[in-house]
Amino acid sequence: MKKYFPIGFPALVLGLLLTSCNNNDDYNTIESTDRIKIDSVRIVNDTMDVFSVQSIKTYSTYASHCEGFYGYDYVQSDNLTRTVTAYKYVTDGPCTQSAYTSANQINFSPQQKGTYTFKFWNGGNSWITKTIVVE
């Protein structure tokens, strides 16, 4: 064992130092997040059963490829009303300045019968309103 220690230990330390000093900058840093208006909404079935699942698709337009979908703010204001606001991220990396549209989705699984009202933020004081009847 003593015979391998003078060679093995320094090689191990050197390997750890080289590995931990790997500066991988192949990613872009998120600079900020902000609301982005939802241009349109697609609901396949406006009637569904309790406890079933339906994907609701939203579409938003981003100004460049430095922007992308960050997440939703999904607020249940009462038992049957939902407000949905989409958020985008903005990165610091090099990007193309061409606008593009992206689709994202929310999975809706109602827990009780009734007529659900969804309000999707469309910019300013504007909302896209959709209803789903749950039987």
Q: Report if residue 69 sits inside a domain.
A: yes
Asked, for residue 94, whether it belongs to a domain, the answer is yes
Which band of pLDDT confidence, cut at 50, 70 and 90, is reported for residue 15?
Answer: low
- Give this prediction's pTM: 0.79
For residue 1, being part of any structural domain is answered with no
> In angstroms, rounded to a whole number, what is the distance separating the alpha carbons of residues 59 and 64?
15
Could you tell me if 122 and 128 are in contact, meaning their C-beta atoms sit under 8 angstroms apart?
yes
Residue 9 pLDDT exceeds 80? no
Inform me whether the pLDDT recorded for 4 exceeds 60.
Answer: no
Question: How far from 50 is each of 8, 25, 43, 110, 114, CA to CA, in Å?
Answer: 65, 48, 16, 5, 9
Domain total of the chain: 1
Across the range 69-84, mean pLDDT stands at: 95
> What is the distance between the alpha carbons of residues 101 and 99, in angstroms, rounded to a whole number?
7
Query: What does the pLDDT average to over 50-54?
Result: 97
Residue (of 106, 74, 72, 89) closest to 30 by Cα position: 89
Domain that residue 109 falls in: 26-134
Which CATH number does the domain housing residue 111 bear? 2.60.40
